[in-house]
């Protein structure tokens, strides 16, 4: 039998984290476009998706509404750290992580 202490259980599964690439880093690098907040969570669009007509606030709001509707329903593959939903197959995804909501094209994942 293997015994794991509480401290070991809380440790990073692959060892010490050397560097984390955050959503803030992605904004600074031009990969994410911040478009607002929902509650305490920021909402980002990847720059690739944003450039496909989501500069328009109405289109953006509609996509966010659809994504939130999908995220409301639990999925067996959801983890404590992330939920991912397909809004349009092979075209648009949304994730919810501790850093917020991110709307993206599958190739941006």
* Average pLDDT score over residue span 44-55: 98
pLDDT of residue 1: 47
| DSSP collapsed to 3 states, 41-108 | EEEEEEHHHHCCCCCCHHHHHHHHHHHHHHHCCCCCCCCCCEEEEEEECCCEEEEEECCEEEEECHHH
Report the distance separating Cα 47 and Cα 57, nearest Å. Answer: 15
> Which sequence spans correspond to the domains of the chain?
23-108
Chain centroid to CA 76: how far?
A: 17
Note the pTM of the prediction, 2 decimals: 0.83
Report the distance separating Cα 96 and Cα 37, nearest Å. Answer: 12
Tokens 């690439």, residue?
A: 21
> 6-42: per-residue pLDDT in tens?
555 555 667 788 888 999 999 999 999 999 999 999 9
Confidence of residue 3 (pLDDT cuts 50, 70, 90): very low
């Amino acid at each position: 039998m293997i015994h794991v202490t509480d401290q070991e259980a809380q440790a990073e599964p692959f060892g010490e984290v050397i560097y984390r690439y955050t959503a803030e880093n992605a904004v600074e690098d031009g990969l994410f476009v911040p478009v607002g907040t929902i509650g305490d969570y920021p909402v980002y669009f990847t720059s690739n998706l944003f450039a496909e007509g989501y500069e328009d606030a109405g289109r953006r709001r509609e996509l966010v509404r659809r994504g939130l509707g999908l995220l409301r329903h639990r999925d067996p593959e959801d983890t404590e750290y992330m939920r991912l939903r397909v809004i349009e197959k092979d075209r648009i995804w949304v994730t919810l992580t501790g850093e917020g909501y991110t709307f993206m094209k599958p190739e941006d994942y």
